[in-house]
Amino acid sequence: MSQITMNKILELYGLSTTAKVASNWRRIATTQFCPYLERKCVKVRKSNPEQTLGTCSVSYGRQSNPIIICPHRLLENRQVFVDCIHLLTTHEPGNQLHIVSEVAIPGGSVDYFLVSAKNSKVCDFVGIELQTLDTTGTVWPERQRFLKRNGIRVKSKDSAGKKPFGMNWKMSAKTILVQLHHKVETFEGINKRLVLVVQEVFLEYMRKEFKFEHLNNARIGEAMHLHAYRFNQSMQGGFHLELANRYSADANGLARSLGLQINAKIELDEIIKLLEGKISRATLFPVAMSA
């Protein structure tokens, strides 16, 4: 049995469980540090908010495909932001780039805004949503069994055999696409771009399930963009992201794919006001994520 098959948990707190170089899992499990957020992991157990889960990716399926289950894992090297700079159509040399998180607009909160600003005034922006697969059941027993195999004492009930976790493909896809539909119409109305960042295998599922006839090879002029990242394993056993495909669509195309109606509206000035209230030295790219 291969190591990737044995370890259902492929990454814990940003570190590969299959890497050839051994890690100090006792220290890692104690500090609970997320290298992508550059602070303590924010995914906590419902039964114990002081204890974080730390699971970034898992092995699942007959081919033991690596699946990312934490959206913060997509922040590796902040490449997802770099890959959106070309969508800042009025960005100019000399402007500062900011990363602003959690901005509320009709349809919900947008995970991140990549903002081009000059003299603290917003010149342009791109919305960025991160979406990974949700699990059914819990990965906690698998996490604890991994630690136990590495000589770390865990509570016997935590590592006891329970129902295996699964992947909630349909609900994960339906939820993000319905939310995206409302947000995309808002961005299209103000001639801005919204990017959905997903793992390649997840996008392949969505294209099949929702029959995206209106999905095009990326066109800058369209409001909705999908960036699909391949999740590769290196010879040393670690994992890394690589941009695989870019697609785009307009709000009407997405609505037709989902059988929904368009109804959200917001003014450009309102979003700019929200962003200018949030940008600061702490949000400057690329140091924004350490704030």
**Concatenated DSSP letters of 220-250:** TTSSEEEEEEEEEE-TTS-EEEEEEEEEEE-
Whether residues 46 and 173 share a domain: the answer is no
Whether residues 148 and 195 share a domain: the answer is no
Considering 1-10, 182-191, 279-288, the range whose residues carry the highest mean pLDDT is: 182-191
CA distance 130 to 127: 10
CATH number at residue 204: 3.40.1350
Domain encompassing residue 208? 72-131+168-291
Whether residues 159 and 126 share a domain: the answer is no
Least confident of 2-6, 13-17, 49-53: 2-6
Whether residues 151 and 269 share a domain: the answer is no
pLDDT at position 86, please? 96
Mean pLDDT throughout 231-243? 89
pLDDT at position 291, please? 43
The total number of structural domains in the chain stands at 2
Q: Predicted confidence band at 100 (pLDDT cuts at 50, 70, 90)?
A: very high
pLDDT digits (tens, 9 = 90+) for 161-211: 667 788 888 888 888 887 887 788 889 888 999 999 999 999 988 888 877
pLDDT at position 173, please? 85
Q: Predicted confidence band at 26 (pLDDT cuts at 50, 70, 90)?
A: very high
User: Burial letters for 119-129: b for 16+ Cβ neighbours within 10 Å, e otherwise?
Assistant: eeebbbbbbbb
Q: Are 250 and 188 spatial neighbours (Cβ–Cβ below 8 Å)?
A: yes
Closest CA to 11 of 278, 241, 258: 241
pLDDT at position 264, please? 47
Whether residues 183 and 64 share a domain: the answer is no
Beta-sheet pairing, 166-167 with 108-118: unpaired
Whether residues 177 and 261 share a domain: the answer is yes
Whether residues 100 and 183 share a domain: the answer is yes
Neighbour count for residue 152 (Cβ, 10 Å): 14
Whether residues 37 and 172 share a domain: the answer is no
Q: Predicted confidence band at 289 (pLDDT cuts at 50, 70, 90)?
A: low
Least confident of 70-74, 90-94, 163-167, 208-212: 208-212
Amino acid (1-letter code) at residue 147: L
Whether residues 33 and 155 share a domain: the answer is yes
Whether residues 96 and 185 share a domain: the answer is yes
Whether residues 81 and 47 share a domain: the answer is no
Q: Token pair for residue 277? A: 């209230």
pLDDT top residue among 65 and 89: 89
pTM: 0.87
Phi first, then psi, for residue 94 (nearest 5°) are 100, -25
Whether residues 173 and 151 share a domain: the answer is no
* CA torsion through residues 195, 180, 65, 9, sign: positive
Check whether 9 has a pLDDT greater than 90: yes
Instruction: Identify the domain boundary among 166, 181, 214.
Output: 166
Least confident of 15-29, 94-108, 131-145, 208-222: 208-222
